Amino acid sequence: MATQPTGRAECRVSSANIEDLLVSVAHHSRDPRAGVFGPESASWRISRESAVFLGAGRAALLQLAHPWVAAALDQHSNVLAQPVKRFHNTFRIVYTMIFGSVAQAVAAARHLYQLHTTIQRELPEQVAGWPRGAHYQANEIAALRWVFATLVESAVMACDCAMGPMAADERERYYADCRLLGALFGLPDSELPQSWDKFVAYNQAMHSSDELGVNELARTMAHHLLSGGNSWIHIPRWYRALTTAWLPPRFQQEFALRFWDEDRCAAEAACARIPQLYHRLPPALRFVGPWHEAQARLAGRRAGPLTRLSNRFWIGQMLLPFANEAAR
């Protein structure tokens, strides 16, 4: 599905498109309280794992490798000044789509679509196959597909690292759920690879295409994020090394990321130690707050203090948003 940018006609998601997609997603749910996927789904089993965040750095850098994303973040976002806030904003929406009720998931999707309608401008310089002045739009399908793909692929890599390789049938079920999640992003199923193997092939084609390319802006943003930015967070060396190790070699080079022998050793040591430590974590730490909140909702209970504290860490607030829509 990777295409050459030069001369390609843009295909954007319209408001009618997103509403049609949301109707189809809502019809998929068996229990509106349980959300789009529900507690027995592969999506809940994988997305509840805090290990997913091992791949967050990789996903962020691969997104920056798309010139549209780097320009949009520079021109419309506070990612450099407030990287933690950017992290919270992203996963607050994603986790609401996965673990919220159907009403919350639909409200989150509408919110994301409306936010994306305001994100459009022109590229300030030529990057990769994109000429200077090329118009970008966040609701364009090819750009949405790339951001979506980085999140899905990086999550699987991270979970494989922490818990061992996912069985082929489980990975296929998880990817099928991800395709449904894609509809909440505004992506029709026809615009997504239809199997895991085809999804892998799409990613590999994108990695070598001139739709992607790193300029000085993206490089600066990447190094800023990997240093923790202006936040209180100290990014450990092993995490930076692991993020670099998981990137395709092309982007290790284009982002000018150091990967000397000691960095390789740090990444290998992390891969060896993470599974040993991860399985010992108690559920309160291993599983993210939004999953605990969803479990409480289905049991007819309010989210407790530990869940609220976990949510505060993962999504920047104590409860998933759009609860008013869920109560209607």
- Residues 149-176 pLDDT 10s: 999 999 999 999 999 999 999 999 999 9
When pLDDT is cut at 50, 70 and 90, the band that residue 7 belongs to is very low
User: Left, alpha or beta for 289 (phi > 0: left; psi -120 to 50: alpha)?
Assistant: alpha
Average pLDDT over residues 105-114: 98
Tell me phi and psi for residue 122, to 5 degrees.
-120, 150
pLDDT of the residue at 84: 80
Q: What is the DSSP string of 263-299?
A: HHHHHHHHHHHHHHHHTTS-HHHHB-HHHHHHHHHHT
pLDDT of the residue at 78: 75
Average pLDDT over residues 84-91: 88
CA atoms within 13 A on the CB side of 239: 15
**Residue 69: both structure tokens together:** 């994303």
pLDDT of the residue at 85: 83
**Residue 66: both structure tokens together:** 């798309």
Percent of the chain residues topping a pLDDT of 90: 89
Quick: pLDDT tens for 33-85.
999 999 999 999 999 999 999 999 999 999 999 999 999 999 998 766 677 88
Q: Where are the alpha helices (DSSP H) in the chain?
A: 15-28, 42-47, 56-64, 67-76, 83-99, 102-117, 141-163, 168-185, 196-207, 216-226, 237-246, 249-254, 261-278, 283-286, 289-298, 305-315, 323-327
pLDDT of the residue at 81: 67
**Is the C-alpha dihedral spanning 74, 77, 82, 88 positive or negative?**
negative
Whether the CB-CB separation of 34 and 174 falls below 8 Å is answered with no
Q: Rounded to an integer, what distance in angstroms lies between the CA atom of residue 157 and that of residue 131?
A: 33
Q: Rounded to an integer, what distance in angstroms lies between the CA atom of residue 287 and that of residue 309?
A: 13
Residue 324 clears pLDDT 90, i.e. is over it: no
User: Left, alpha or beta for 109 (phi > 0: left; psi -120 to 50: alpha)?
Assistant: alpha
Strand partners, 121: 136
pTM for this one? Answer: 0.93
**174 CB-near residues (< 8 Å, 6+ apart):** 42, 43, 45, 46, 156, 166
pLDDT of the residue at 83: 78
3-state SS, 132-157, equals CCCEEECCEHHHHHHHHHHHHHHHHH
Quick: pLDDT tens for 185-195.
999 999 999 99
Q: What is the mean pLDDT of the chain?
A: 93
Quick: pLDDT tens for 227-265.
887 767 789 999 999 999 999 999 999 999 999 999 999
CA atoms within 13 A on the CB side of 259: 22
Q: Rounded to an integer, what distance in angstroms lies between the CA atom of residue 300 and that of residue 277?
A: 33
What's at 66, amino acid-wise?
A: H
Quick: pLDDT tens for 203-225.
999 999 999 999 999 999 999 99
Whether the CB-CB separation of 322 and 101 falls below 8 Å is answered with no
Residue 297 clears pLDDT 90, i.e. is over it: yes
**Residue 247: both structure tokens together:** 């990137």
